[in-house]
Structure formats: C-alpha cells, structure tokens
A and B are shown apart, each in its own frame.
Chain A
Amino acid sequence: QKEVEQNSGPLSVPEGAIASLNCTYSDRGSQSFFWYRQYSGKSPELIMSIYSNGDKEDGRFTAQLNKASQYVSLLIRDSQPSDSATYLCAVNLRNQGGKLIFGQGTELSVKP
C-alpha cells in the first residue's frame, strides 16, 4: 500500500461545477495535510493546509479531513478553466520531521 494515494485522473468537470479531489494515507498518526496545485512546467504551489478533523474553507477551496478514515479531500467550487492543473496531496507522517510524502497527483481539467 502506498503511503499517500490519489486517483491520477484525469478528472474532467464543466466550468462552474464542483471539483472533488480525494486522497488517502496509510499512517494513522499523520498530523499535517497539504494540497498543492501544480501547473504544467511549474513548481507546486501551496493552496491549502489542514491539521484537525473537519472542514477548512478558503475562498472557493474547501479542505476536508477525516483522520478516523485516513482521508483528506479538496473541493473546488465554481471551477474555472484556470483551475486546470495537477493537484498534489502531501502528508507529514508521524515521526518524520518535516518530510512530506506526496501522492502522484490528480490531473484536473475544467472545460469551458
């Protein structure tokens, strides 16, 4: 089992719809969870961080964390073509210092 798993996609949604990106992780003691957006040919850009169970909202983005199910998700409301990118889930595992374990990323395509 991979430490952090994401569906590779591509996930295609129409403009204005809600995009839902999912991530599961293997270490129950993980304490920090991050979503990065990566445009083609660019470096990862931090868009959300979440540390406790529940929802965290920032503009059109909502991160959801369920530690019991070892599941973290990212919802993008009112999706725009400019949201088309690869979304990387990253987890800071227990006793790993600052090391982030990344999933392989989910490619999102928002169609006008």
Chain B
Amino acid sequence: EAGVAQSPRYKIIEKRQSVAFWCNPISGHATLYWYQQILGQGPKLLIQFQNNGVVDDSQLPKDRFSAERLKGVDSTLKIQPAKLEDSAVYLCASSLVASGATSYNEQFFGPGTRLTVL
C-alpha cells in the first residue's frame, strides 16, 4: 500500500515570496491533515479536512496561509507572502476516520516538505 506522498521535498524561497505544497493521502483515507513542525518541537496542526470539507483550521494563519482539498483526495497548502518564521517542515498526514478510540483514526505521515525562508 502506497504511503502519503508529498512534494516538493525541499524548497528555498525569499521572504514575501509565495510557495505551494502538494499532498496525496493514502488511498481511501477520508481525513487529511497539514502539520507544521519547527525544529526541536512536535508537529502542530494547521488544518484538518474530512473529505473536501474543513474540520479544523483554528491554528492556520489565514492572512497568509490557505489550503484546499478539491475532490476530497489531493490537497495543496499555500503560503503567500512567506515570512522568516515560516521556515519549518510541513507534514501531511492522513487517516481513515477523524477520531474515536479505534485504530481507524491512526494518522500516517508523508515525508514532509522542508521550507527555508531567507
């Protein structure tokens, strides 16, 4: 079974530029997550989709970050304009369901995109 795919793996941009990341979840997984991981910290949820609807975007900086999941499969996360503090690894994860005391809510991560903002 193929895992979560992400691209690009690395991106270097200058501040105030824009950047976009792509994610393809595990086949059949309805729930997709974007996390931001700053060096030395645990991942922090930016946005959660259930199929193509947003479940939680409470920690997404909406003045500069946007995300979409058209057709309930692939997703893109965009930053415009980027700031120095956006330098981080952006992780996409997916799960069969969103929650519950069941293995169906186990989240599996893609390889991530390492973003450097100069």
Interface string of B99-118 (1 = CB under 8 A from A): 11111011111111000000
Let me know if A45 and B109 touch, CB within 8 A. yes
The answer to whether B21 has its CB under 8 Å from any CB of chain A is: no
Q: Which of B39-47, B66-74, B75-83 contacts A (4 or more CB under 8 A)?
A: B39-47
What residues make up the interface of B, taking CB atoms closer than 8 Å to A?
31, 33, 40-45, 48, 50, 55-56, 89, 91, 95, 97-103, 105-112
A99 adjacent to B101 (CB under 8 Å): no
Contact count A vs B, C-beta below 8 Å: 71
Question: Please, how many angstroms separate the alpha-carbon atoms of A51 and B48 in the complex?
Answer: 22
Known A4-B42, A97-B50, A98-B98; further 10 A-B contacts with Cβ < 8 A: A43-B112, A90-B42, A98-B33, A98-B48, A98-B105, A98-B107, A99-B45, A99-B48, A102-B44, A104-B42
In the bound complex, CA of A36 to CA of B80 (Å): 31
With a 10 A CB-CB cut-off, give which of A32, A44, A96, A98 has the most chain B CB atoms: A98
Q: Which residues of A contact B (CB under 8 A)?
A: 4, 31-32, 34, 36, 42-46, 49, 51-52, 88, 90, 92, 96-100, 102-105
Residue in A31, A46, A102, A105 whose CB lies within 8 Å of B108: A46
- A104's contact among B40, B102, B103, B112, by CB below 8 Å, is which? B40
B-side contacts of A102, CB under 8 Å: 42-44
With known contacts A98-B98, A104-B40, A43–B48 Cβ distance under 8 A: no
User: Could you say which of B44, B98, B109 contacts A43, with CB atoms under 8 Å apart?
Assistant: B109
Q: Are B98 and A97 in contact (CB under 8 A)?
A: yes
A9 CA to B52 CA, complexed, in Å: 40
